[in-house]
């Protein structure tokens, strides 16, 4: 099997696994981790796209998008962690689908 196909399938698998976690897991931190898994799948697909027609040099545009995406993903994760912590401090719940304890 060609390595680009293998990397593409791994990226799709990571994205689908993260998508499942986003929709079916109620815990905030686990949902945030699922979003990061989705981002890793997208990053892997961008690497494959950059190497698809690389006779001499790979395409630099997907590489630039990848670097920008990593920076955005790290900052969005930090922001989401701050929001999740504030949500837990206010409500006392760690999940969005939990029953109200009071």
- Written as one string, the DSSP assignment of 59-88 is -HHHHHHHHHHHHHHHHHHHHHHHHHHHHH
Residues 6+ apart with CB under 8 A from 67: none
Say if domain 3-91 classifies as CATH 1.10.30. no
Report the pLDDT averaged over residues 20-35.
92
> Does position 101 have pLDDT exceeding 60, yes or no?
no
Q: pLDDT of 75-100, one tens digit each?
A: 999 999 999 999 999 988 888 775 55
* Range among 20-24, 45-49, 95-99 rated most confident: 20-24
C-alpha span between 80 and 72 (Å, rounded): 12
Question: 12-16, 25-29, 51-55: lowest mean pLDDT where?
Answer: 51-55
Residue with tokens 């545009």, as numbered in its chain = 61
How is the chain split into domains, by residue range? 3-91
Question: Could you tell me the two tokens for 101?
Answer: 């304890």
pLDDT cut 70: percent of the chain above it: 92
């Amino acid at each position: 099997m060609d390595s680009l196909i293998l990397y593409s399938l791994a990226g799709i698998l990571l994205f689908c696994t993260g998508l499942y976690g986003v929709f079916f897991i109620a815990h905030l931190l686990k949902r945030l981790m699922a979003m990061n898994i989705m981002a890793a799948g997208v990053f892997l697909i961008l690497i494959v796209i950059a190497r698809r027609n690389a006779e001499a040099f790979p395409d630099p545009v997907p590489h630039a998008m990848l670097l920008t995406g990593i920076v955005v993903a790290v900052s969005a994760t930090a922001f989401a962690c701050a929001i999740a912590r504030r949500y837990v401090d206010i409500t006392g719940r760690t999940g969005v689908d939990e029953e109200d304890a009071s």
